[in-house]
Amino acid sequence: MEIKITKDFIELLNERIDEQNAKEVKEMLQDLHPADIAELFDELSTKEQSFVIDLLDNEISADILLELEEDDRRKFLKTLTAKEIAEDVINEMDTDDAVDVINELSDEKKDEVIAQLEDQEHAREIVDLLRYDEDTAGGLMGKELIKVNKDWSVITAVKQMRKQAEDFEEVFSIYVVDEDDKLLGTLSLKRLLTTSAKTKVADVYNEKIQYVKTYTKDMEVAKVIEKYDLYEVPVVDELMRLVGVITVDDVIDVIREEAEENYQLAAGITQNVDSDDNILKLTRARLPWLLLALVGSFVAVNVSQSFSDAMNLYPQLFFFTPLVAAMAGNVGVQSSAIIVQGLANSNISGSIWKRLGKEMLLALLNSALLAMVLLLATHFLMSTSYEISSTIVLALVIVMILASLIGTFIPIMLHKYGVDPAIATGPFITTSNDIFGLLIYFSIAKIILGF
């Protein structure tokens, strides 16, 4: 039965929770997906959330916690003891999810939770995963996987697989290893079902397999899964031993977080923040680039001021300064956005000079067409003199070409020296192009008009 989460549903749920009507609350939630219940948590107080969590099975409660926003989950975890977290949450999670939750705890509470875990094998696997950086394959992987030895017979492999898969929700792949746990390949379910029970695994497994190392960066892992259309990818250590597996849902989270971070960088926000964060954190994230924009704008004002004589002699020039500055900023942001996207997808190849040449030709074509439109508009619609119209359109062409080159060159150079090129698409490019645009505009005006 499908349940629509409407305003009336939420109001009724709140009423039943206020009444401490456990039976009806449980009935209202039993057919909802954990992700839907997590959305409802935004409407509940921490005390009400605890009431709901206590009603549900530990497995469902753990799934709900995973669906919560990180800040909301961290707040809720503070209300639980180390023993409650260990028994009711961590025990019900796969190792990769358990590590993510544990990493959100304080160092002291983290040790307490691990000490409270009764399943020693689960605890050892979690401790093993905690030693990897969060932005690497080791930090993403889970320990839940099915592996068989190449020297086993098919019937032995099936028996062992049954034992290994007892606690798994899903099984995507069967990995083949040797006696040292070195990854050799995969075993397809079809071959397993259509092969004689006495046949050796070594005779039927597939040696062609994509894998990543524990130190592979998370975005590189995402590219491997995307390129080869994988549901999961195995992780090996320096000795090629199979140590874990990364599933596509973990990679989707990485891609989403990377996209959010790049979007914020492009907007001039220097650290990952949410709209619900406190004022101080939001200020720290936004202020650095705003200060840079202020300094850049101050420089632009000084550039304009140095040509004050031109403003007095040809006041019409002043009206077109926003146009020139805006076009410079727009072209620069367009060029840098395309380059940043290409760098993120590893689609930028070849000589940088070839790339700059292409962008220059593209900017020349666009600026020439726009210049023709602007020339007609200024000369015939605004009755601007031929000299001033020529100044404006010539400046527009040169400014657009320069902005395109800056928007292309800066991200590539930042990427080359290990700096996230996404920072180039926001205030940095806009401010620099404003300054250069005004300088070029008035310099050309000085040459043509002779002031």
State the average pLDDT over residues 120-147.
93
Residues of the chain with CATH 3.10.580.10: 146-248
Q: In the predicted model, what is the mean pLDDT of the chain?
A: 84
pTM, 2 dp: 0.67
Q: Which residue has the higher pLDDT, 322 or 345?
A: 322
Lowest-confidence segment of 208-212, 235-239, 263-267, 373-377 by average pLDDT: 263-267
Q: What is the dihedral of CA 24, 28, 29, 30, to 10 degrees?
A: 90
Q: Is the pLDDT of residue 374 over 50?
A: yes
* Kind of pairing between the strands at 232-236 and 212-213: parallel
With vertex at residue 346, the alpha carbon angle to CA 340 and CA 349, rounded to the nearest 5 degrees, is 95
Cα separation of 310 and 442, whole Å? 8
Query: What is the pLDDT, as a whole number, of residue 276?
Result: 58
pLDDT (tens digit per residue) in 65-93? 998 888 888 888 888 899 999 998 999 89
* 146-248 topology per CATH: CBS-domain (3.10.580)
Query: What is the pLDDT, as a whole number, of residue 209?
Result: 94
Phi-psi region of 436 (alpha: psi -120 to 50; beta: other; left: phi over 0): alpha
Q: What is the dihedral of CA 128, 202, 148, 188, to 10 degrees?
A: 110
State the average pLDDT over residues 183-202.
90
Banded model confidence at residue 129, pLDDT cuts 50, 70, 90: very high
Residues of the chain with CATH 1.10.357.20: 279-449
Query: What is the pLDDT, as a whole number, of residue 263?
Result: 62
Query: What is the pLDDT, as a whole number, of residue 451?
Result: 64
Q: What are phi and psi of 242, to 5 degrees?
A: -70, 120
Other CB atoms closer than 10 Å to residue 23's CB: what's the count? 9
228: helix, strand or coil: coil
Q: Which residue has the higher pLDDT, 102 or 336?
A: 102
State the average pLDDT over residues 154-164.
91
CA 294, distance to chain mean position in Å, is: 29
Q: Is the pLDDT of residue 3 over 70?
A: no
* 65 neighbors 76 (Cβ within 8 angstroms): yes
Contacts of 365 (CB under 8 A, 6+ apart): none
Cα separation of 389 and 377, whole Å? 9
Give the gyration radius of the chain's Cα atoms.
30
State the average pLDDT over residues 113-133.
92
Q: Which CATH class is domain 7-130?
A: mainly alpha
* 279-449 topology per CATH: Tetracycline Repressor; domain 2 (1.10.357)
State the average pLDDT over residues 159-183.
89
Query: What is the pLDDT, as a whole number, of residue 1?
Result: 47
Banded model confidence at residue 246, pLDDT cuts 50, 70, 90: very high
Q: Is the pLDDT of residue 281 over 70?
A: no
- Name the most confidently modeled range: 96-110, 290-304, 420-434: 96-110
Query: What is the pLDDT, as a whole number, of residue 286?
Result: 67
pLDDT (tens digit per residue) in 399-414? 889 888 888 888 888 7
Query: What is the pLDDT, as a whole number, of residue 275?
Result: 54
b/e map 381-417, b = 16+ CB within 10 Å:
eeebeeebbbbbbbbbbbbbbbbbbbbbbbbbebbee
pLDDT (tens digit per residue) in 206-240? 999 999 999 999 989 998 998 899 989 999 999 99
- The structure tokens 């409802």 sit at 40
Cα separation of 263 and 270, whole Å? 11
State the average pLDDT over residues 300-316.
75
Q: Between the CA of residue 72 and those of 38, 258, 274, 285, 314, what are the distances in Å? A: 10, 20, 12, 20, 59
**How much of the chain exceeds pLDDT 90, in percent?**
28
State the average pLDDT over residues 419-423.
69
* 144 neighbors 245 (Cβ within 8 angstroms): yes
Q: HEC states along 66-119?
A: HHCCHHHHHHHHCCCCHHHHHHHHHHHCCHHHHHHHHCCCCHHHHHHHHHHCCC
Residues of the chain with CATH 1.25.60.10: 7-130
Q: Which residue has the higher pLDDT, 93 or 428?
A: 93
Banded model confidence at residue 274, pLDDT cuts 50, 70, 90: low
Q: Which residue has the higher pLDDT, 256 or 52?
A: 52
Q: Is the pLDDT of residue 266 over 70?
A: no
